[in-house]
Chain A
Amino acid sequence: MSANAKILIVDDDPDIVESMKVILESKNYQVSVAKTGEEGLRKVRGEAPDLVILDVMLETGDKGFDVAREIKWDPQYKHLPILMLTAIKEKTGLDFMKEAGDEQWLPVDDYCDKPLHPGELVSKVEALLNKR
Chain B
Amino acid sequence: MTSFKQLEGLCERLYWLIRLRWIAAASVFLTVLLTGHIFKFSLPAFDLYAASTALGVYNLVFFVLLKSIKGKESFVIVNRIANSQISLDLLSLAVLIHFSGGIENPFLFYFIFHMIIASVLLSKRASFLQATFAVLLFSIMVSLEYFAVLPHYCLKKFIIHDQQHNLTYISGVSFVFISTLYIAVYMATSISGRLKQREKVLGEANLQLEEKDRIKSEYVLRVTHGIKEHLSAIQGCLEPVSGGITGELNAKQFDLVQRAVRRTAKLMSFVKALLQITRIKLSKEMKMEYFSLRDSCLEAINDTSAKAKAKFISVNFTMEPGIGPIRAAREYIQETLTDLLVNSIKYTPPRGKIDVGLRNRGSVILIEIADTGIGIPKNELPRIFEEFYRASNAQVAERDGTGLGLSIAKRVVEMHSGRIWIESEEGKGTKLNIELPK
Residue of B nearest to A18 (CB): B237
Assess A20 versus B236: contact at CB under 8 Å? Given A93-B329, A93-B331: yes
27 sample A-B contacts, Cβ–Cβ < 8 Å, listed by A number: A13-B229, A15-B233, A15-B236, A16-B233, A16-B236, A18-B237, A19-B233, A19-B237, A19-B239, A22-B240, A22-B245, A22-B246, A23-B239, A23-B245, A90-B272, A90-B275, A90-B276, A91-B279, A93-B287, A93-B330, A93-B331, A94-B331, A115-B231, A115-B233, A115-B236, A115-B239, A118-B243
- Minimum CB–CB distance from A64 to chain B (whole Å) comes to 15
Interface SS of B by simple majority:
helix
Known: A26-B240, A117-B239. 4 other contacts (CB 8 A): A15-B233, A15-B237, A115-B268, A119-B243
- Highest count of chain B CB atoms <10 Å: which of A15, A19, A22, A118: A19
Residues on the A chain within 8 Å of B232, using CB: 16, 114-115
Q: Give Cα distance in the complex from A53 to B245, angstroms.
A: 20
Interface SS of A by simple majority:
helix
Q: Give Cα distance in the complex from A57 to B181, angstroms.
A: 71
Q: Give Cα distance in the complex from A7 to B365, angstroms.
A: 50
Interface residues in B311-369 (C-beta closer than 8 Å to A) = 329-332, 335
Assess A115 versus B235: contact at CB under 8 Å? Given A13-B229, A22-B245, A93-B287: yes
Interface pair A116/B239, CB less than 8 Å apart:
yes
Interface residues in B240-261 (C-beta closer than 8 Å to A) = 240, 243, 245-246
Q: Which 6 A-B pairs have the closest CB atoms?
A: A93-B331, A19-B236, A115-B235, A15-B233, A115-B232, A114-B232
- Minimum CB–CB distance from B234 to chain A (whole Å) comes to 8
Measured CB to CB, the residues of A under 8 A from B are 13, 15-16, 18-20, 22-23, 26, 90-91, 93-94, 114-119
Residues on the A chain within 8 Å of B335, using CB: 93
Q: Give Cα distance in the complex from A26 to B229, angstroms.
A: 24
Contact of A118 among B231, B245, B276 (CB under 8 A): B245
Residues on the A chain within 8 Å of B236, using CB: 15-16, 19-20, 114-116
- Minimum CB–CB distance from A23 to chain B (whole Å) comes to 5
- The 8 A CB mask of B405-431 against A (1 = contact, 0 = none) is 000000000000000000000000000
Q: Give Cα distance in the complex from A97 to B59, angstroms.
A: 57
Assess A93 versus B332: contact at CB under 8 Å? Given A13-B233, A15-B233, A16-B233: yes
Residues on the B chain within 8 Å of A22, using CB: 240, 245-246
Q: Give Cα distance in the complex from A22 to B276, angstroms.
A: 31
Interface residues in B115-173 (C-beta closer than 8 Å to A) = none
Residues on the B chain within 8 Å of A94, using CB: 287, 331
- Highest count of chain A CB atoms <10 Å: which of B231, B233, B237: B233
Residues on the A chain within 8 Å of B329, using CB: 93
- Minimum CB–CB distance from B110 to chain A (whole Å) comes to 59
Residue of B nearest to A114 (CB): B232
Q: Give Cα distance in the complex from A26 to B332, angstroms.
A: 38
- Minimum CB–CB distance from A49 to chain B (whole Å) comes to 21
Residues on the B chain within 8 Å of A118, using CB: 239-240, 243, 245
Residue of A nearest to B241 (CB): A22
Q: Give Cα distance in the complex from A21 to B176, angstroms.
A: 95
Residues on the A chain within 8 Å of B246, using CB: 22, 26
Assess A23 versus B279: contact at CB under 8 Å? Given A93-B332, A115-B232, A118-B245: no
